Amino acid sequence: MSGPARVFDLSEVGRRDLNQALHDASDGDSFEVTNPRGAHAVACGITAEIDVLVRGSVGYYCAGMHKRGRVLVEGNASTGLAENIMSGLVHITGNATMSAGATGCGGLVVVGGNAGARCGISMKGVDIVVGGNVGHMSAFMAQAGNLVVCGDAAADLGDSIYEAQIFVRGDVESLGADCIEKEMRPTHVETLSRLLVAAAAVPAVNGADPADFRRYGSARRLYNFTIDDVDALEAAQEAA
């Protein structure tokens, strides 16, 4: 399909009909979704290079399992925005509640406003840029990828983090287990600059200076065995 966007009014058609049309789409197609009214699982599982504009706020798991293409939501999103994203772009202009970008393996997730607790939980390669603040335990068990926070971060940032990178411009309430502040090297400045450019459509991101950010990552203590742990290990095995 080419030409004008195909419009789906969710006050008149079902969400399953919308998602099936998106799954059947061809590269270059475009869609507009009106009256989402907080519907769950909108625009999930997209596998073609298409554009989807959602005019309004959405519920749980919007753009989940996103594989290709671009989804823009003019509004807010509830739990699990872009969960398990593989590639492509998911961008919301408003706020996201819990677990935005959870388990994401690739692609870019952009949140124009704030993101709630556990933003980027168990991320595995996704890049996430948040124009505002993030809630507690963001990047919990984050394995790979980058979380950029242009505002503040709540408690226990990066708890049990592996090899993901976190960049925060504002204040950090506290760091989680094994997460420490790290040196901002040229390669990290380059990565951060690229992500800020990619998310420049967000007013809070546009023009942000990488020099204003601090970098956080793993101290690499939690997943390395040391001889000091032997007694505790043996005691645990005996008690099991």
State mean pLDDT over 57-66.
97
Q: In this predicted structure, what is the pLDDT of residue 10?
A: 96
* pLDDT > 60? residue 126: yes
Q: Tokens 């290709």 sit at which residue?
A: 68
Q: What is the pLDDT of residue 109?
A: 98
Give mean pLDDT, residues 44-69.
Answer: 97
> Taking all residues of the chain, what is their mean pLDDT, rounded to a whole number?
94
Please, are residues 180 and 161 in contact by the beta-carbon 8 Å criterion?
no
Q: Decide if pLDDT at 1 tops 60.
A: no
User: Domain coordinates of the chain in residue numbers?
Assistant: 6-239
Planar angle of CA 18, 101, 178, nearest 5 degrees: 165
Instruction: Please state the rounded mean pLDDT for residues 113-132.
Output: 98
Position 49, amino acid = E
CATH 2.160.20.10 fits 6-239, yes or no: no
- For 23-38, give one letter per residue: b (16+ CB within 10 A) or e: eebeeebbbebeebeb
- Structure token digits, residue 220: 């690499």
CA distances from 195 to 108, 177, 221 (A): 9, 26, 28
- Average pLDDT for residues 39-50, to the nearest whole number? 97
Determine the average pLDDT of the residues in 195-224.
92
Average pLDDT on 86-110 reads: 98
User: 94 with 112: CB under 8 angstroms?
Assistant: yes
Q: What is the pTM of this model?
A: 0.92
Residue with more model confidence, 220 or 212: 212
Instruction: Decide if pLDDT at 105 tops 80.
Output: yes
* DSSP codes joined into one string, 63-131: TTT--SSEEEESS-B-TTTTTT--SSEEEESS-B-TTTTTT--SSEEEESS-B-TTTTTT-EEEEEEES
pLDDT at 165: 98
Query: Considering only CA atoms, which of 76, 79, 88, 89 is closest in space to residue 36?
Result: 76
pLDDT value for 56 = 98
Banded model confidence at residue 221, pLDDT cuts 50, 70, 90: confident
What percent of the chain lies above the pLDDT cut of 90? 88
Phi, psi at residue 112, to the nearest 5°? Answer: -70, -35
CB 27 within 8 A of CB 46: no
Q: H or E element: which one contains 181? A: strand 179-182
If you average pLDDT over residues 25-50, what whole number do you get?
A: 97
Q: Distances in Å between the alpha carbon of 146 and those of 51, 62, 166, 180?
A: 24, 21, 6, 15
Q: Is the pLDDT of residue 227 over 60?
A: no
Q: How confident is the model at residue 222 (pLDDT cuts 50, 70, 90)?
A: confident
What are the residues whose beta carbons fall under 8 Å from the beta carbon of 175, sequence distance 6 or more?
A: 156, 157, 158, 159, 181, 216
Q: What is the pLDDT of residues 157-190, one digit of tens each?
A: 999 999 999 999 999 999 999 999 999 999 999 9
Mean pLDDT of 11-29: 96
